[in-house]
Amino acid sequence: MRLQTLVVPIAFGLGLVLPIKAADDLSMPQPVVQDRITYLTGGIGKEEADYMNALVKRYDLAVYFVEQKTGKFLADIDVVIEDRKGEILLASMVSGPIFLAKLPVGRYKITAIESGREKERYTRITGKSAVRLVFHWPSQPET
């Protein structure tokens, strides 16, 4: 236990990404900490989506990625979160259609990139309830 107590602060100082072991079902997505931002990605399949949606109230930001015409959920989205000064706080590949993050109170720019198609949203985190954002992309032509 003492080793874990020392390793985590050192890892944070170095900006390392560490998975956090949750008490919830370990087969479900687990939170990750990157540069003091805790986030969770997933939502593939009904069981995992229900799990993620049940956790929204524990996070400040909930982002959903959806195909515009069909409503089909999208995955493998690059997400970048910047503070109001333009400093990048988080850059991550989102493995599922739902992204949850714990952020300090403030204003943020959220950029999401799906298959090279970039969209931006601006939001304000108040700490009172989760902000929910939905990114919609037009359907990709069949190849």
Q: How far is residue 78 from each of residues 5, 48, 116, 125, measured CA to CA in Å?
A: 31, 20, 9, 21
pLDDT for the residue numbered 103: 96
pLDDT for the residue numbered 140: 77
pLDDT for the residue numbered 9: 44
pTM over 0.85: no
Residues sharing a CB contact under 8 Å with residue 133, sequence separation 6 or more, in sequence order: 61, 62, 63, 64, 110, 121, 123
Query: What are φ and ψ of residue 75, in 5° steps?
Result: -130, 180
The pLDDT profile of the chain, 143 residues, written as one tens digit per residue, is: 333 333 344 444 445 554 444 444 678 999 999 988 999 999 999 999 999 999 999 999 999 999 999 999 999 999 999 999 999 999 999 999 999 999 999 999 999 999 999 999 999 999 999 999 999 999 877 66
